[in-house]
Amino acid sequence: MVRGYAEATSCRRRFLLTYFGEDYEAPCNNCDNCERGAPQPDPPTGEEFAINAKVRHAKFGDGHVVRHDGDRVVVLFEDAGYKTLSASMMAASNLLEETR
C-alpha cells in the first residue's frame, strides 16, 4: 500500500482517506498530483463493490473493500492482507461476492 501511495498519479488525499475507509471526492487541490492537474480516476459506476462492503473471495477468504481506483478495488482480507483486484473481472466471474 505504501508503494501504491508513492506511485499514485491521482489525488493522494483520496488515496489515504479511502485506505482508512473514508470516501473522498477528489481533487483536494492540495497534494502534488492535484496541484499539477493530474486526471482523477472515474468514480465507481455502482456496479463495483461499495467501500466497506463485506466480501468473500474463494481463495483469499473474508474481507472488506477499502478503496476504489478506477476499475481496481482494494480489499483487506482477514488472512491474506491487502489485495488489488479488477472490479469488473471479480463481478463478471463471481470470484468476489458481497456478504452480510
Q: Closest Cα partner for 44 from 20, 27, 75, 23? A: 23
pLDDT grade, residue 45 (50/70/90)? Answer: low
Looking at residues 79-99, what average pLDDT do you find? 85
Q: What is the pLDDT of residues 11-35, one digit of tens each?
A: 899 888 877 777 788 889 999 999 9
| Of residues 54 and 87, more confidently modeled | 54
- CATH, domain 43-100, list 3.40.50, 2.60.120, 2.30.30, 3.90.25: 2.30.30
Lowest mean pLDDT segment, chosen from 20-24, 73-77, 84-88:
20-24
Contact predicate 10/26, CB 8 Å: yes
How many other C-beta atoms can be found within 10 angstroms of the C-beta atom of residue 41? 15
Q: At 47, list the grid cell.
A: 456496479
pLDDT for residue 83 is more than 80: yes
**What's the longest Cα–Cα distance across the chain?**
41
Question: Domain residue spans in the chain?
Answer: 1-40, 43-100
Q: Please give the pLDDT value at position 79.
A: 92
Q: Strand runs (DSSP E) across the chain, as ranges?
A: 54-57, 61-69, 72-77, 81-86, 96-98
